[in-house]
Structure 1
Amino acid sequence: MTYTILYGLTTFAAQFNSTTMTSNNFLEEMESLYHLSRECALLGTALYILGIAFGPMMFAPMSEMYGRKVGVFIPFFISSLFTFATSISYNVAGIMVTRFFAGFFSGAPIVSAGGVLADIWSPGARGAAFGLYACFVSTGPSFGPVLSSLLISSSSSSESWRIPQWFIGLVDLFMIALCLSTLEETYEPVILSWRARDRRLDSKQWNIHSLHDTWKFDLRETVSVHLIRPFAMLATPIVFLMALYASYVYGLFYLIITNVPEAFFLTKGWEGTQGTLPLISLFLGVVTGSIFNMLWARRYAQIIDRSSDKTIPEQRLPIMMMAGWLMPVGIFIFGWTCNAKIHWIAPCIGIAFIGAGFITIFQGSINYLVDSFTKYSASAIAANTFLRSVFAASFPLFAKQLFVNLQVSWGSSLIGFIALGMIPIPFFFFKYGRKIRAKNPYSNRVS
């Protein structure tokens, strides 16, 4: 459990950094200092998330070649350096470039940490472990605006936006030092390679090698596996529709995070840190949804124990079918109660529903893809990560215009109706997924 928590906290820090530039007082300071529009001020967030989209394509093979610790913490250390570089940048170009590379290198813990869980947990216990890990991944962004706003408000400097960047950079370094001093390598091929090296040196028998020692880096293979195959899999029905569903709710998740402060300012006049406090209800919703996921993971383990199959992908879907409605309902509650006449608790309940619905859909879709394409699960997850990062980077850029032009009520209704239209996706695959997988060249063998 120590490994799950520490790698989860590392990922929490990487995700937390993605939204430190979304609080209203940060955006207003950037707009004033650099004469930017709201959309341009949000580019720091968008570019960080786009960096996360591309980073896994480089760091997934790195963790398989040199081990999880090297593949996670060296890139994460470089990410922290770029975060410090953001804090000392004095022009918009410098801020945007350093934010992109901070996100690019932070993609390592976000993606490769999942491999650690696969290393240390059995298939039956893995669902609950991934549920806890997903909770860390998803709660990080909800705290970014709150803490960023608190740090900025505590300073009287005209450039207090730099303080959150220093803070998260120091948190990153602390997590790196803690994990490197506490955790051992978990990737078995690398561990066996180290043992073979030690025996070779001790016995002077130079022919002792592990299978991993014979593996050589092949650029063509790396491009095929980590660049071409994810996009090829994205063209298949299961990967495309499940990734589309997960990406849409992921985009909505970031849209809500970046625009809840704006919505409460427009409707209730809440400014600064006060406007970010409703995001705590998003955190509570994600935690509640994660509990749902872990409870269903136990139920799934019982189903597997009674079956001759190692995995039954369609049994990952009922949690999405049961709880997928929470997100659109939460969006409607938030949109139609976030006004001056209704108590603030009502839209916060809607935001909590959004968080619970998001995490059940998001985690359920990933579990389904992993179980459907076990051999090529890394490529399936890479395709999912790329598409969801594109959605998450782009959605906040049009959200202000959405809420200003259509108002909070109808703007929320528009995105809520689209979310409603995606609810049938898991029902469809629950009924027809087995037949579709049987025709998919990348899927597990269907008996």
Structure 2
Amino acid sequence: MSAPKLYRHPTKSEIIDLAAAEGHDADISSNLGWIPDKSHNTSARPSISLNEDKDHVAAVDKDIENGHGPGSASSIDEPEEEAGHDPNIVDFDGPGDPLNPMNWKASKKWGMVALISAITFLTPLASSQFAPGVPEVMRDFHSTNELLEGFMVSVYVLGFAFGPLIIAPLSEMYGRLPLYHSCNLLFIIFTIAAALATNMGMFITFRFFMGCFGGAPMVLGGGTIADLIPREQRGTAMAVWMMGPTIGPCVGPIIGGFLTQAKGWRWNFWFVAIVGGAFFIMSLILMSETSGIIILQRKTNRLKAETGNTKLRSKLDSGLSPADLFKFSIVRPTKMLFRSTICFAISLYVAITYSYLYILFTTFTAVFTSQYGWHGGMVGLSFLGLGVGSLIGQFVYIHFGNKIVHKHMQRGDFRPEHRLYIMTIGGFFIPIGLFMYGWSVQKGTHYMVPIVATGIIGFGLLMTFMPATTYLVDVFTIHAASAMAASTVLRSLMAAVIPLSSQTMYAQMGYGWGNSMLGFIALALVPIPFLFIKYGERIRASSTVKL
């Protein structure tokens, strides 16, 4: 790679892309810097506070949805103004600086990417791996409570809602590596605790904390890959990394079905703990800190000690206090969720359909055991349709979604709503799959019919999740990470709570009408992307969200 390309001043779109991958807003420092507050002097250290003056709030308001601020499409690729040279600013020593993770050996960089992708596959896999063993857990803990039967699976996702809100700001303060190591270790500890649990209360509590700490690689992984791999080579690494959250929850029960039959339900947790322990040892040996913010801060501290110059400061130091980082991480997503029409509607769509995934996870064992007489390891194979459908959906979206966007970019008329064209198609697959699945099970048709139906559901889910996420990034630009955090929290909360009533729903309505009701709700959500394609630009032009 040539030096000018690596070290030219970053464009706003590059800063926004990296910030979204790192899991924070673009007005917080990242490896490419930050988008400064235009209402203040850009040569000064940027300082962001929730108690902004009225003029600054007005400036920020315009940047949230309506596309007229510094993160708007009209100015998205304009480079920031170069600040004058300051001898007290500490930066990397030129394009070949070995401290820069981009200059590390290829074997070290791709080794870290492979390890992070493996961990990101394992932790979502653990969310559902023991699902086929739920009846054994209920029997061992002498429980017949149907709410707990579903909650013991979905409580893991509840941890996903809360863990990242703490992990993200801590990684900005202390770096990615300490968070990887501490969260991986705590994940293993609570996995072992779940394997040794002696009552339902202990088991559910340990499952919750597994989810809290298991979410770390999904929060940190995108940023680590962006730290190491140049933009033009990043697609493959990101695609492999993203397969973890997509395929892991569907592959887990297939492993869990046979493992439960052979060794009992507790061995699902021993399996995760053993594999997680191996990954943890490998990470201690192979992983290094990749955050440019932390690397330059350490260099700054070292130079201060050597030179006695207390005025030295890192080029990537945004001046944010730890308190501000926590406020942005927790308060901003909440405000965006309830004050932004676009964020709320898209997040609600994703949350409801995502909860269907965990309704299926928590009921597949009972459905295929009672309706088809499957037992032991065979029950895990009932999840195969969801996994294959999700994988196909991911590849179809990547191909056709990018094709649509590139076409409009070449025309010069691209707007965020073009991301939703794929979502309008994907939305119809979810109700179709639910109707087909419910009535095929109800009527006792051949087992391949509901398996194919769940594949259609998985395909539809991926074809709605992925465009919805990229749409939020394009709409909210510099505050994209907060919008995605808002969506993640709502999605995880609903996925943990809604499945609790699934067994009662099927008992009262049957599999046919029960899934039909879910299908009708999904059908009622289908117009949302159509409405935003038609009115989204107008909504953005008239919306302000005070952060």
TM-score (norm 2): 0.73
Name the structure 2 match of 1:405: 508
Name the structure 2 match of 1:218: 322
Is the 8 Å Cα contact of residues 53 and 390 (structure 1) preserved in structure 2? yes
Equivalent-residue separation in structure 2 for 1:286 and 1:401 (angstroms): 27
Residue 287 (structure 1) aligned with residue 391 (structure 2): yes
Work out which of the residue numbers 381, 386, 407 in structure 1 matches 2:484: 381
Is the 8 Å Cα contact of residues 260 and 376 (structure 2) preserved in structure 1? no
Distance change >3 Å, CA 218–CA 171, structure 1 → 2: same
Name the structure 2 match of 1:302: 406
Residue 85 (structure 1) aligned with residue 177 (structure 2): no
Which moved further from structure 2: 242-251 or 313-322? 313-322
Name the structure 1 match of 2:134: 26
**SS of the residue aligned with 1:42?**
helix
Work out which of the residue numbers 164, 181, 197 in structure 2 matches 1:56: 164
Name the structure 2 match of 1:414: 517
Equivalent-residue separation in structure 1 for 2:543 and 2:229 (angstroms): 28
Per-residue Cα deviation, 1:383-414 (whole angstroms, up to 9, x for no partner): 11111111111232111122222111111111
Is the 8 Å Cα contact of residues 373 and 442 (structure 1) preserved in structure 2? no
Residue 350 (structure 1) aligned with residue 459 (structure 2): no
- Output the amino acid matched with 2:499: P
Higher RCO, 1 vs 2 (CA within 8 Å, ≥6 residues apart): 2
Equivalent-residue separation in structure 2 for 1:182 and 1:301 (angstroms): 37
User: Deviation at 1:301?
Assistant: 5.4
Residue 165 (structure 1) aligned with residue 269 (structure 2): yes
Name the structure 1 match of 2:154: 46
Name the structure 2 match of 1:71: 179
Equivalent-residue separation in structure 2 for 1:146 and 1:182 (angstroms): 30
Equivalent-residue separation in structure 1 for 2:236 and 2:422 (angstroms): 13
Name the structure 1 match of 2:118: 9
User: Deviation at 1:228?
Assistant: 1.5
User: Deviation at 1:82?
Assistant: 0.9
Equivalent-residue separation in structure 2 for 1:262 and 1:387 (angstroms): 27
Residue 106 (structure 1) aligned with residue 209 (structure 2): no
Is the 8 Å Cα contact of residues 128 and 293 (structure 1) preserved in structure 2? no
Aligned ranges for residues 178-327 of structure 1 at < 5 Å? 178-197=282-301, 208-212=312-316, 215=319, 217-219=321-323, 221-235=324-338, 236-300=340-404, 302-303=406-407, 305-306=409-410, 312-327=415-430
Which moved further from structure 2: 422-431 or 86-95? 86-95
**SS of the residue aligned with 1:317?**
helix
Work out which of the residue numbers 257, 260, 285 in structure 2 matches 1:152: 260
- Which structure has the larger Rg over C-alpha atoms? 2
User: Deviation at 1:291?
Assistant: 0.3
Work out which of the residue numbers 518, 534, 537 in structure 2 matches 1:434: 537
Equivalent-residue separation in structure 1 for 2:498 and 2:235 (angstroms): 30
Query: Of Structure 1 and Structure 2, which has the larger fraction of its residues in helix?
Result: 1
Which moved further from structure 2: 245-254 or 25-34? 25-34
**SS of the residue aligned with 1:342?**
coil
**SS of the residue aligned with 2:313?**
coil
Equivalent-residue separation in structure 1 for 2:366 and 2:288 (angstroms): 44
**SS of the residue aligned with 1:34?**
coil
Work out which of the residue numbers 441, 444, 452 in structure 2 matches 1:338: 441
User: Deviation at 1:230?
Assistant: 0.8
Equivalent-residue separation in structure 2 for 1:142 and 1:376 (angstroms): 31
User: Deviation at 1:438?
Assistant: 2.3
Equivalent residues, number: 436
Equivalent-residue separation in structure 2 for 1:214 and 1:407 (angstroms): 57
Equivalent-residue separation in structure 2 for 1:203 and 1:211 (angstroms): 18
Distance change >3 Å, CA 87–CA 380, structure 1 → 2: same
Per-residue Cα deviation, 1:226-256 (whole angstroms, up to 9, x for no partner): 1211111001110001000111111001111
Equivalent-residue separation in structure 2 for 1:354 and 1:436 (angstroms): 30
**SS of the residue aligned with 2:215?**
helix
Unaligned runs of 5+ in 1: none
**SS of the residue aligned with 1:373?**
helix
Which moved further from structure 2: 393-402 or 109-118? 109-118
Which moved further from structure 2: 166-175 or 192-201? 192-201
Residue 371 (structure 1) aligned with residue 479 (structure 2): no
User: Deviation at 1:217?
Assistant: 3.2
**SS of the residue aligned with 1:441?**
coil
Is the 8 Å Cα contact of residues 420 and 471 (structure 2) preserved in structure 1? yes
Equivalent-residue separation in structure 1 for 2:403 and 2:175 (angstroms): 32
Per-residue Cα deviation, 1:361-400 (whole angstroms, up to 9, x for no partner): 1111111111111211121111111111111112321111
Q: Percent identity?
A: 31
Name the structure 1 match of 2:7: none
Distance change >3 Å, CA 124–CA 329, structure 1 → 2: farther
Unaligned runs of 5+ in 2: 1-108
Distance change >3 Å, CA 202–CA 298, structure 1 → 2: farther
Name the structure 1 match of 2:77: none
Equivalent-residue separation in structure 1 for 2:502 and 2:167 (angstroms): 32
Is the 8 Å Cα contact of residues 268 and 339 (structure 1) preserved in structure 2? no
Per-residue Cα deviation, 1:144-202 (whole angstroms, up to 9, x for no partner): 222222112112xxxx3221111111222222333454444443322333444566677
Distance change >3 Å, CA 307–CA 212, structure 1 → 2: same
User: Deviation at 1:261?
Assistant: 2.1
TM-score (norm 1): 0.88
Per-residue Cα deviation, 1:1-26 (whole angstroms, up to 9, x for no partner): 94655433322211111113421x43
- Output the amino acid matched with 2:394: S
What's the C-alpha RMSD, in Å, of the aligned pairs?
2.7
